[in-house]
Amino acid sequence: MTIVTLAQRPDLAVATFAIPYPPGSPRFMEGNLAGSLARGPRVARRWPHLVVALLDGDRPIARGVMVAYRSDRDDRAALPDLGWDQTATWAAEDALDDIAPDTACALEIAVHPERHGHGDSTVVLNAMREAVGAAGLETLVIPVRPPDKATKPMQPMHEYAGQTRADGLPADRWLRTHVRAGGRIETIASCSMTVQAPLAQWRHWTGLPFDSDGPVAVEGALAPVLTSTAHNIGVYVEANVWITHTPA
Ligand SMILES: CC(C)(COP(=O)(O)OP(=O)(O)OC[C@H]1O[C@@H](n2cnc3c(N)ncnc32)[C@H](O)[C@@H]1OP(=O)(O)O)[C@@H](O)C(=O)NCCC(=O)NCCS
């Protein structure tokens, strides 16, 4: 296994971003608007040195995707409540304004489903810390999305993230992986990722009827979708967990 950045192997950009999510992953995430600014080939073109790929031979089997922004611009909060959406937007703003960054934000780590459970995510995480250090950036922040929270969509994130095992590590496996790798849980990004859409779109994404008002639990969602039939809207607001890592 080897680790590269897409600055070193631009020829692997398509294969790196083609690593799929597990079957059953929620389709509605494609409705997140900030994600369209900071996903896929666009990121690879602007920040190729901040996209790492774990290779099996020449085949990418895991990716770690980061963007960069300036943390002390426009009174920006160190760890904003708007989490993922906010930092993706800041990175896009700074790219358009040609502002030199000082902070990296990880937007995604994905391991090929065939390779889950082999510790690859920690290898990717450590490579991301090294890429941030090599880029001369001071900080690595991550609005972490613990996918297993989908089993408890009605539980507030601060309660979920605060649960620990007897050894003091987080009960959630993905938070635990970050903490084991040296990450520090800082706070909750209560409005980190949002998806808003008419109810017909939610029906299309989920196959659910969306015919009554109130919270609706959707497979793969970390929080309920809040719906109003009178206004024809479904709004999903996902909390994430702010974790900081030290660049290597
Ligand atoms: C989350 C993800 C990156 C973890 O990657 P991974 O390489 O499989 O994880 P690891 O092998 O390092 O395992 C991490 C921990 O999760 C546990 N784990 C792995 N797969 C598991 C599963 N299917 N069910 C329960 N626990 C699991 C491992 O045992 C380990 O915990 P432990 O060390 O305390 O035993 C991977 O599942 C993935 O790509 N998911 C889809 C994308 C995603 O949701 N990314 C995170 C948000 S951006």
pLDDT digits (tens, 9 = 90+) for 9-19: 999 999 999 99
Q: How much of the chain exceeds pLDDT 90, in percent?
A: 94
Going by alpha carbons, the residue nearest to atom 13 of ligand 1 is 117
Going by alpha carbons, the residue nearest to atom 5 of ligand 1 is 121
d(CA 174, CA 217): 22
pLDDT of the residue at 37: 82
| Of 6, 103, 1, 86, residue with least CA distance to 46 | 6
pLDDT of the residue at 209: 98
Query: Quick one: pLDDT band at residue 219, thresholds 50, 70, 90?
Result: very high
Domain residue ranges of the chain, discontinuous segments joined by +: 2-188+241-245
Residue in 67, 105, 111 to alter for ligand 1 test, most ligand atoms within 8 A of Cβ: 111
| Of 141, 155, 136, residue with least CA distance to 243 | 141
pLDDT of the residue at 40: 81
Q: Are 199 and 210 in contact (CB under 8 A)?
A: yes
Give the tokens for residue 138.
Answer: 């001071």
Q: Are 43 and 51 in contact (CB under 8 A)?
A: yes
Could you tell me the distance, in angstroms and rounded to a whole number, from the CA of residue 3 to the centre of ligand 1?
A: 19
pLDDT of the residue at 242: 98
Angstrom distances, CA of residue 164 to CA of 122, 160, 172, 221, 244: 20, 9, 8, 22, 19
Atom number, ligand 1, closest to the C-alpha of residue 169: 34
d(CA 246, CA 216): 38
Could you tell me the distance, in angstroms and rounded to a whole number, from the CA of residue 209 to the centre of ligand 1?
A: 32
pLDDT value at 238 more than 80: yes
pLDDT value at 38 more than 80: no
pTM beyond 0.75: yes
What residues does ligand 1 touch, defined as CB less than 6 Å away? 21-22, 108-111, 116-122, 145, 147, 173-174, 176-177
Query: Quick one: pLDDT band at residue 112, thresholds 50, 70, 90?
Result: very high
Give the tokens for residue 240.
Answer: 């994430």
Query: Quick one: pLDDT band at residue 61, thresholds 50, 70, 90?
Result: very high
**What is the rounded end-to-end Cα distance, in angstroms, of the chain?**
20
Could you tell me the distance, in angstroms and rounded to a whole number, from the CA of residue 123 to the centre of ligand 1?
A: 12
Q: For residue range 179-216, what is the model confidence (pLDDT) as tens digits? A: 999 999 999 999 999 999 999 999 999 999 999 999 99
pLDDT of the residue at 36: 86
pLDDT of the residue at 12: 96
Domain 2-188+241-245: top CATH class: alpha beta
pLDDT of the residue at 224: 98
pLDDT of the residue at 45: 92
d(CA 225, CA 30): 15
pLDDT of the residue at 210: 98
